[in-house]
């Protein structure tokens, strides 16, 4: 199968680097290679480029340049935000952390790490669409809450949180709010003042930039401890010689994403709706996951009855279609999607989950090809399944539930 | 990630289906990941597996291990079929990724369950 025939629908996992980004990065490998911490010309040029990129990222999210810390990506930004705020809070006697069950593991695992080190952890409930309600946040805030971390949009189901409402609650309580905007930035407008967040994570490779680079926004006046020590870079907040070429790529990708967002998002939304509607037309017994309207333009998440997610992915791959699933069997961890489970979707339903995330190169022909291929794949797998329950009986057989 | 043989058994599974009025039926599942398997067998002369079919709801490895275990068990004496181990199933497929080894346990259990069912009917 040639590359032209392959259909990539896993843009939430990563995106291809835009050639314009690669062109912008190229001089910073071989020509402008100086260490920005040095005083001679080569270093000064690198420093100038670094600060230009910082300004671009700041402008892109409505922040000031000094509020941007460049990092190695979304995972580091999330770790830095959670651990950095918790440690700063601890110095003032704070020991409580609040987050949600649908966060990326880059938030959940640092939170668990802090819990093991003496912090108290509150996991907020979400509704069946994956929405965190502001009044739920209000209920759990305490005087000793060091950090609230609630993602802007979810990577699996695409649900967008009412952050501007949630931030009113955290602001009133004087608790810093971090948001993981890794899936949002470049796809929907992200402005730190509109959202009202104090910290925000972004990752370059989710919006056609290079892998291994991201940024953390920290609102001026927010106390945060560094995560990586060993140098005065990033105003003493993140040691390590700056990844100049990567940072230039991040900034170029952000610039392109913002310039093209309106047109691209409108086009992708149409294709997404074509795919969702098409899936309900060509398949029986499926369900749609995530919020019906408050969602990313490019995300389609469904559960298909009587089949397992990874098996669908394998057959799709044989047809040149790349997608994703939240099934336990596709995760390598034996656990089904924690996001779908938190939304109240039973395990055996999550077992058949399938996610398509569209991108700027996705075409109508590609969507139609998926719709043409998928019925045969599902039929084939359904013919193999030992239990053909009607949808209303779509639950784990009692004999198996008893073992769970 | 998967060997060619796993992908072959996944895409072209052998002995799919249910034997009507089977001599023995095994039903097993993994409550953690949600995979389900049903194996039906016919037994000739109270001794050898003369027919075997499977149905599986599960991932590529679950389907491939089910398929290959039916091939391995066909024509075997019951005690020999019972002795098939998860490792033999994985080896027969040219290996499985570590996180998928539990699928071969399901296949071995399904076969054993079917033989036990046959024997329990006396």
CATH number for the domain that contains residue A31: 3.40.640.10
Looking at the structure, do residues A214 and A299 belong to the same domain, yes or no?
A: no
| Whether the model pTM is above 0.80 | yes
In a domain, A41, yes or no: yes
Looking at the structure, do residues A241 and A281 belong to the same domain, yes or no?
A: no
Q: Which of B18, B33, B44, B83 is catalytic?
A: B33
Tell whether the model's pLDDT for residue A1 goes beyond 70: no
Q: Do A330 and B37 touch (CB under 8 A)?
A: no
In a domain, A322, yes or no: yes
In a domain, A318, yes or no: yes
How far off is chain A from B76, nearest CA to CA, in Å?
24
Residue in B28, B59, B64 to test binding to A, most A beta-carbons within 10 Å: B59
Model confidence pLDDT, tens digit, residues A252-283: 999 999 999 999 999 999 999 999 999 988 98
Looking at the structure, do residues A222 and A300 belong to the same domain, yes or no?
A: no
Model confidence pLDDT, tens digit, residues B70-112: 999 999 999 999 999 999 999 999 999 988 988 889 999 999 9
Looking at the structure, do residues A104 and A33 belong to the same domain, yes or no?
A: yes
Looking at the structure, do residues A95 and A195 belong to the same domain, yes or no?
A: yes
Q: Which of A214, A239, A257 is the last residue of a domain?
A: A257
In a domain, A345, yes or no: yes
Q: Which of A225, A257, A289 is the last residue of a domain?
A: A257
How far off is chain A from B8, nearest CA to CA, in Å?
11
In a domain, A238, yes or no: yes
Residues on chain B touching A330 (C-beta within 8 angstroms):
59
Residue in B closest to A402 by C-alpha:
B31
What average pLDDT score do residues A122-133 get? 97
In a domain, A137, yes or no: yes
pLDDT band at B31; cut points 50, 70, 90 = confident
Residues on chain B touching A347 (C-beta within 8 angstroms):
34
Looking at the structure, do residues A278 and A249 belong to the same domain, yes or no?
A: no
In a domain, A1, yes or no: no
The predicted complex's ipTM stands at: 0.94
Looking at the structure, do residues A76 and A176 belong to the same domain, yes or no?
A: yes
Residue in B53, B58, B103 to test binding to A, most A beta-carbons within 10 Å: B58
Tell whether the model's pLDDT for residue A393 goes beyond 80: no
Looking at the structure, do residues A302 and A360 belong to the same domain, yes or no?
A: yes
Looking at the structure, do residues A217 and A85 belong to the same domain, yes or no?
A: yes
Tell whether the model's pLDDT for residue A392 goes beyond 90: no
Looking at the structure, do residues A25 and A67 belong to the same domain, yes or no?
A: yes
**What pLDDT, on the 0 to 100 scale, is given for residue A280?**
87
Which residue range(s) make up the domain with A374? 7-13+261-403
Q: Which of A257, A280, A304 is the last residue of a domain?
A: A257
Reply yes or no on whether A329 is catalytic.
yes
Between B1 and A157, the more confident residue is A157
What average pLDDT score do residues A88-98 get? 97
In chain B, the domains with their CATH numbers are 4-120 (3.90.1010.10)
Looking at the structure, do residues A125 and A244 belong to the same domain, yes or no?
A: yes
Q: Based on the structure, what is the number of domains in chain A? A: 2
Q: What is the CATH number of the domain that holds A352?
A: 3.90.1150.10
In a domain, A2, yes or no: no
pLDDT band at B6; cut points 50, 70, 90 = very high
Neighbour count for residue B67 (Cβ, 10 Å)? 25
pLDDT band at B121; cut points 50, 70, 90 = confident
**What pLDDT, on the 0 to 100 scale, is given for residue A3?**
61
Q: Do B102 and A396 touch (CB under 8 A)?
A: no
Looking at the structure, do residues A278 and A244 belong to the same domain, yes or no?
A: no
How many contacts does A have with B, using Cβ atoms within 8 A? 89
């Amino acid at each position: 199968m040639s590359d032209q025939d392959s259909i990539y629908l896993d843009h939430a996992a990563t995106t291809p680097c835009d050639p314009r980004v690669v062109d912008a990065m190229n001089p910073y490998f071989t020509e402008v290679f100086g260490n920005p911490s040095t005083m001679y010309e080569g270093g000064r040029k690198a420093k100038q480029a670094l600060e230009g990129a910082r300004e671009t990222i700041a402008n892109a999210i409505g922040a000031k340049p000094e509020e941007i810390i460049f990092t190695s990506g979304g995972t580091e930004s999330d770790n830095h935000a959670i651990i950095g705020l918790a440690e700063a809070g601890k110095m003032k006697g704070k020991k409580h952390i609040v987050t949600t069950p649908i966060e990326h593991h880059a938030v959940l695992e640092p939170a668990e790490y802090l819990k093991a080190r003496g912090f108290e952890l509150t996991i907020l409930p979400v509704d069946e669409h994956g929405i965190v309600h502001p009044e739920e946040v209000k209920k759990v805030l305490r005087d000793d809450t060091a950090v609230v971390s609630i993602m802007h949009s979810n990577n699996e189901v695409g649900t967008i949180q009412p952050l501007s409402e949630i931030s009113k609650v955290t602001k009133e309580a004087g608790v810093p709010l971090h948001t993981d905007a890794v899936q949002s930035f470049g796809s929907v407008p992200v402005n730190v003042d509109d959202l009202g967040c104090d910290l925000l994570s972004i990752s370059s490779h989710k919006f056609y930039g290079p892998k291994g680079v991201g940024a953390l926004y920290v609102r001026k006046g927010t106390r945060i401890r560094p995560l990586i020590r060993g140098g005065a870079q990033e105003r003493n907040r993140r040691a390590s010689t700056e990844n100049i070429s990567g940072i230039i790529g991040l900034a170029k990708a952000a610039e392109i994403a913002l310039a093209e967002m309106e047109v691209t998002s409108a086009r992708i939304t149409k294709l997404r709706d074509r795919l969702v509607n098409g899936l309900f037309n060509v398949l029986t017994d499926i369900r749609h996951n995530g919020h019906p309207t408050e969602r990313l333009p490019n995300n389609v998440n469904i559960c298909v009855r009587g089949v397992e997610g990874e098996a669908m992915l394998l057959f799709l791959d044989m047809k040149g279609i790349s997608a994703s699933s939240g099934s336990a069997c596709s995760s390598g961890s034996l656990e089904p999607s924690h996001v779908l489970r938190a939304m109240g979707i039973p395990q055996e339903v999550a077992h058949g989950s399938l996610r398509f995330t569209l991108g700027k190169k996705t075409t109508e022909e590609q969507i139609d090809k998926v719709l043409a291929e998928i019925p045969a794949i599902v039929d084939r797998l359904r013919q193999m399944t030992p239990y053909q329950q009607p949808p209303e009986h779509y639950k784990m057989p009692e004999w198996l539930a008893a073992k769970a | 990630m998967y060997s060619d043989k796993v992908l072959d058994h996944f895409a072209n599974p052998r002995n799919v289906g249910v034997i009507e009025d089977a001599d023995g039926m095994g039903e097993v599942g993994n409550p953690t990941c949600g995979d389900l398997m049903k194996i039906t067998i016919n037994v000739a002369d109270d001794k050898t597996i003369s027919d075997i079919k499977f149905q599986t709801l599960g991932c590529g490895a679950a389907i491939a291990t089910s398929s290959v275990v039916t091939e391995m068990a066909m024509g075997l004496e019951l005690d020999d079929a019972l002795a098939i181990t998860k490792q033999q199933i994985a080896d027969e497929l040219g290996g499985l990724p570590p996180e998928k080894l539990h699928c071969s346990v399901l296949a071995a259990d399904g076969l054993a369950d079917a033989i036990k069912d046959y024997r329990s009917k006396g």
